[in-house]
Amino acid sequence: MKTYTKYLTFNTKNRRELIKITKDVSQAVEESGVQEGLCLVSAMHLTASIIIQDDEEGLHEDIWKWLENLAPFKPDYNHHKTGEDNADAHLKNLLTHLQVVLPITKGRLDLGPWQEIFYAEYDGQRPKRVIIKIIGV
């Protein structure tokens, strides 16, 4: 059994961004030498997510609208009484999840034809990390 760990760091220009990381994760799988196994990709912050989606701008806009509708940025969250202003980012994380587990087959990520891996940032403009953890043979 092999294991491999790699960290990615992001410091987004905007508070909310969607960053395609498929190539970064694929490179980590290649570096790991694992031929058959699993790849965990996890945001290490509760105001960001890892999602698998199509890389289509209209869909990205729809995702942002959907998230804002379900967890809008507004001043009256109880969390804000602590001095924070990012309650909506925590709720968006709950909707889109913290991490994904992906299959590795024959030394490569085994993704569907339109599947891309994205880092979704909901409260950026400061350094944030993603962990890639690979296990297999």
Give the tens place of pLDDT for each residue, 41-69: 999 999 999 999 999 999 999 999 999 99
38 band by pLDDT with thresholds 50, 70 and 90 = very high
Tokens of 60: 């990205």
pLDDT value of residue 3: 98
> Using CA of residue 70, residue 75, residue 78, residue 83, what is the dihedral sign?
positive
Angle between helices 87-96 and 57-70 (to 10 degrees): 120
110 band by pLDDT with thresholds 50, 70 and 90 = very high
Mean pLDDT value across residues 82-111: 97
Tokens of 12: 């987004």
Q: How far apart are CA 67 and CA 10, in angstroms?
A: 21
Triad 41, 47, 48: Cα angle to 5°: 30
Percentage of the chain beyond pLDDT 70 is: 100
Q: Which of 75, 133, 137 has the alpha carbon at shortest distance from 107? A: 137
| Architecture per CATH, 2-74+84-136 | Sandwich (2.60)
119 band by pLDDT with thresholds 50, 70 and 90 = very high
Report domain extents, the chain.
2-74+84-136
User: For the segment 19-28, what is each residue's pLDDT rounded down to a tens digit?
Assistant: 999 999 999 9
Residues paired with residue 5 on neighbouring β-strands, in sequence order: 133
pTM above threshold 0.85: yes
- If DSSP codes are grouped into helix, strand and coil, which group holds residue 40? strand
Tokens of 100: 């994904």
pLDDT value of residue 4: 98
136 band by pLDDT with thresholds 50, 70 and 90 = very high
